[in-house]
Structure 1
Amino acid sequence: MTSLYDHAGGAEALRRFIDVFYSTLLEDPVLQPLFGKGSPTHVEALIAFDTEVFGGPDDFTRDWGGFQHIIDVHRGHRITEEQRQRFADLYLAAADTVGLPDDEPFRRALREHVDFGTEVAYQNSHAETDDQLHPLRTMPKWDWPQEK
C-alpha cells in the first residue's frame, strides 16, 4: 500500500505544499490574529507533522516532541469556527495550487485529515483543563482507501 506521503510526492512535494499554504495563511485577515507575522519554525513543524501523519519519517515525534507539542501550541488560542474553517479551506486550496494529486481517494483523505486536525486544534484551544482536551494524545497515522 502506498502511503499518502509517497503518493503526494514525498518530501519535496510536501515542502512546496506547506510553503504555499503557510504564505497564504499569513496573508489571510481571518487567520492573522492567530499567526501574526509567523514563526520561523512553524513551516518546518508543519512539514514534519504532515510528513509523519501521512506515513513518512517520524521527524515530528523525534524532533518536535510529538503530539504533546501540538496540544501545547494550541492551548489558550481560542480558535473560532471561522478560523478553523478558513485554515482548512486554505490548506485544500494550497493542494490545488501546487498540484498535489487530485484523485478522489487522495483528496478525500486530505480533506478528512485537515477537518479532523482543525477540530482537534479547535477543541484544544478552548480547553481550560486537561479533561477538556480532545482525547487524542498520540500522533495520528492517516490512512486512505486506494483504488485497485
Structure 2
Amino acid sequence: MESLYDHAGGEDGLRRFVDTFYSSVLADPLLQPLFGAGRPDHVAHLTAFTAETFGGPDHFSQQMGGFQRLIDAHRGLRIDEEQRQRFIELYLAAADASGLPGDAPFREALYSHVDFGTQVAMRNSHARTDDELHPLREVPIWNWPDPSDPDPRAD
C-alpha cells in the first residue's frame, strides 16, 4: 500500500504544504507569539518531521535532532486550547491551499496526525519537569485509517 508520504506528493508536496502552513502561522495574531519572527530552518524541519511521520525518509530523526528537539522547542510555550485549535484549523486550510490530496482516508489521517501532535505539544509546553512530559519520545509513524483500530500510529 502507498505510504501517506507518497500519497501527499513526497518531499515536494509536503514542502509546499508546510511552506503554506508556516506562512499562515506567522501571519496569525493568535499563533505568531508562539513562533516569533520565525526561523529560517523551521520549514525544512517541519517538512522532514512530517515526511518521517508519514513513512518517508528519517532525516528528522537522523540529522535534525529528532523528537528531543521537538520537546525542547515546545517547553515553556504554555500553548492553550484556543491556540491548539487554531493551529489545526490553519494546518487543514494549508492542506487545501497547497493541493494536498482531498480524499477522505488521507484527510482523516492528516487530521488525526495534527490533532494528536498538538495534544502532545500542548502538554509538553506546560511541563515543568520531565515527568510531566507526554510519554512519547520518538517520531511516531502514521498509517492510513483503519476502522478497527482507533490509533493510526504504527505499532
Normalised to the residue count of structure 1, the TM-score between the two structures is 0.96
Match of 2:40, SS state, is coil
Q: Superposition pairs for residues 13-92 of structure 1, below 5 Å?
A: 13-92=13-92
For residues 2 and 13 of structure 2, what CA distance do their matches in structure 1 show? Answer: 15
| Aligned Cα root-mean-square deviation (Å) | 0.9
Q: Which moved more, 1:59-68 or 1:105-114?
A: 59-68
Contact preservation (8 Å) 2:124, 2:132? yes
For residues 43 and 101 of structure 1, what CA distance do their matches in structure 2 show? Answer: 20
- Aligned twin of 2:5: 5
**Which runs of structure 1 show a deviation greater than 2 angstroms over 4 or more consecutive aligned residues?**
none
Match of 1:37, SS state, is coil
- Aligned twin of 1:120: 120
For residues 118 and 73 of structure 1, what CA distance do their matches in structure 2 show? Answer: 13
Structure 1 unaligned regions, length at least 5: none
- How far residue 145 of structure 1 moved from its aligned partner, in angstroms, is 3.4
Contact preservation (8 Å) 2:113, 2:142? yes
Q: Which amino acid aligns with 2:67?
A: F
- How far residue 79 of structure 1 moved from its aligned partner, in angstroms, is 0.6
Corresponding position: 1:131 with 2:131:
yes
Normalised to the residue count of structure 2, the TM-score between the two structures is 0.92
For residues 139 and 21 of structure 1, what CA distance do their matches in structure 2 show? Answer: 20
Contact preservation (8 Å) 2:25, 2:87? yes
For residues 32 and 66 of structure 1, what CA distance do their matches in structure 2 show? Answer: 24
Q: Percent same amino acid at aligned positions?
A: 67
Match of 1:11, SS state, is helix
Q: Which amino acid aligns with 1:98?
A: S
For residues 10 and 41 of structure 1, what CA distance do their matches in structure 2 show? Answer: 19
